[in-house]
Structure 1
């Protein structure tokens, strides 16, 4: 893939979602677990950015609201502790109400976002992930994402904006 097909116009959220799934798989998680964890990582990042831009308020004090059941365990991915729900097929990221997140919905979201470019983008990310020890990858993976993510305006104008994801930047991210 060279020339125009070496970049994809895409929003940052699916880029982070796919990258987190690739990292989770490199850590040994099955694809369904990886997709659900990836969605939780991207959601956490999006909520933090929305608060930073003033598009959302910080979570209110729990006060009198009932608390969802505490998850029995968490898995660490890209610097975030993700609550998980145990299922017969393995652990999945837990929704706020404790139910397991649906990996099928995450897979469909990523497929829609990248379209025909998904295999090439995934291959570039897998190549990058494969060059690092899994533990180091999990520790430095978010910084790697920041090195190759699409450029968008840093203010509210960049919220949800598409930018160019350059596959050569993914391939070179680990230096």
Structure 2
């Protein structure tokens, strides 16, 4: 049975699963996933013509550049890293501060409700079929295969679509 959900939490959960498969601890994975979903959201905002000036500045690279050791690659995105007050490595929220994991975890839990475990299990099984580096390389294309279909007549931001778990389970053969 399909789940009616926005694409953003699906991408966030998938990015979390991929980051964990790459060996990141859960808190780091959630933080990195938020950064990946944020990048995708900014790209969509540009396509819809609703991007903000702060996003334009970030995309121009007005912030101080990070060194390679201060970044992580996840699903084709380079993410700046920072340490929180406890020394945990997290994604940079764009302002040089850490993007905490707890709100991301709550966001995913709310979006999927009682179906979260089922969706996560399907995503983890898909991720396990790939070596970590290859998963990171093809992971966004896998997501594009199984992401919720938004009806063509639905326009705008935050439209919900149907996430078909069978598409997640069969996504392995969709990339090369």
Range class of TM-score, shorter chain: 0.7 to 0.9
- Residue ranges of structure 2 left out of the alignment (5+ in a row): none
Aligned to 2:45: 50
CA gap 1:94/1:57 in 2 versus in 1, 3 angstroms: closer
Matched with 2:112 is 114
Pairwise CA distance, 1:173: 0.5
What CA RMSD, in Å, does the superposition of the two structures yield over aligned residues?
Answer: 2.0
* 2:29 counterpart of 1:34: yes
The structural deviation recorded for 1:123 is 0.2
For 2:103, the equivalent position in structure 1 comes to 105
Shift of the alpha carbon at 1:86? Answer: 2.1
**1:137-152 alignment runs, 5 A limit:** 137-152=135-150
CA distance in 2, matches of 1:60, 1:161: 24
Q: Counterparts of 1:61 and 1:127 in 2: how far apart (Å)?
A: 38
Counterparts of 1:75-86 in structure 2, within 5 Å, are 75-86=72-83
Check conservation: 1:17, 1:38, Cα contact below 8 A.
Answer: yes
Q: Deviations over 1:94-135 (max 9, x none)?
A: 111111101000000000000000000000000000001100
8 Å contact kept, 2:2–2:165: yes
**1:153 Cα shift?**
4.4
Matched, 1:164 2:162: yes
When normalised by structure 1's length, the TM-score is: 0.88
Given the superposition, is the C-alpha separation of residues 149 and 116 from structure 1 closer, same or farther in structure 2, using an over 3 Å criterion?
same
**More displaced, 53-62 or 19-28?**
53-62
* The one of 5, 16, 22 aligned to 1:21: 16
Work out whether residues 7 and 167 of structure 1, in 8 Å CA contact, stay in contact via their aligned partners in 2.
yes
SS, match of residue 49 in structure 2: coil
Distance 1:45 1:7 in 2: 23
Q: Larger deviation: 49-58 or 78-87?
A: 49-58
Q: Relative to structure 2, which stretch is displaced further, 9-18 or 148-157?
A: 148-157
Please report how far the alpha carbon of residue 68 of structure 1 lies from its aligned counterpart in structure 2 after TM superposition: 4.6
